Amino acid sequence: MGGYWLHSRAMPEANRSRSASPLFSASLLGLGLALAMALVARGLAGDEEVSHFLIARHAFEEPSLFLSLAGRPLVTFFLALPAQAGLLGARLASVLASTCCAYAVARTARASGLGPPWLAVLFLFVQPFFLAHAAAYPLHGKGEVGKYKRNRNLVT
């Protein structure tokens, strides 16, 4: 019985034709939830989300912001162009990033053979923290948004 213990009795190879439809459905459900949150969200979670958005939005005016540790350089590079369209643009870019993450999770689940890929995608999107950040800025009240709209002329 050679080999490693993980490979000795792995789950049988998934039938791609049977798992493609549930995978598509789970991905569509997750994408729909993330898009709904991006379109319906009225506020920002707090100072960190506001600073990421503002740093990305003004990075072209002040190029040193692209390397700002407060803005997280990778986040700033990813959001700089969509943030020019406003908060909705940044949210939709974040939905795109979460969709790419779901694709990577499905590929990993399929390659590992530890379970059906559609279930892994479903588990990913039903995590409240992931789904909230899939829309870049979670659903919260008007408190933080109002404060930053008045102080920094944040256009949503």
Contact between residue 110 and residue 15 where contact means Cβ atoms under 8 Å apart = no
DSSP-H helix ranges across the chain: 5-8, 16-40, 47-57, 73-83, 87-112, 117-125, 128-134, 143-152
Tokens for 117, please give them. 């890929």
End-to-end CA distance of the chain: 62
CA distance 47 to 51: 6
Is this prediction's pTM over 0.85?
Answer: no
Q: Is residue 27 part of a domain?
A: yes
| Dihedral sign for Cα atoms in the order 27, 77, 92, 133 | positive
Number of structural domains found in the chain: 1
Predicted confidence at residue 72, as pLDDT, reads: 85
The pLDDT confidence band at residue 13, using thresholds 50, 70 and 90, is: low
Q: Is residue 98 part of a domain?
A: yes
Q: Is residue 111 part of a domain?
A: yes
Q: Is residue 14 part of a domain?
A: no
The pLDDT confidence band at residue 3, using thresholds 50, 70 and 90, is: very low
Q: What is the pLDDT of residues 38-96, one digit of tens each?
A: 888 777 766 777 888 899 999 999 999 999 888 889 889 999 999 999 888 888 888 88
Domain encompassing residue 102: 19-152
Q: What is the pLDDT of residues 31-40, one digit of tens each?
A: 888 888 888 8
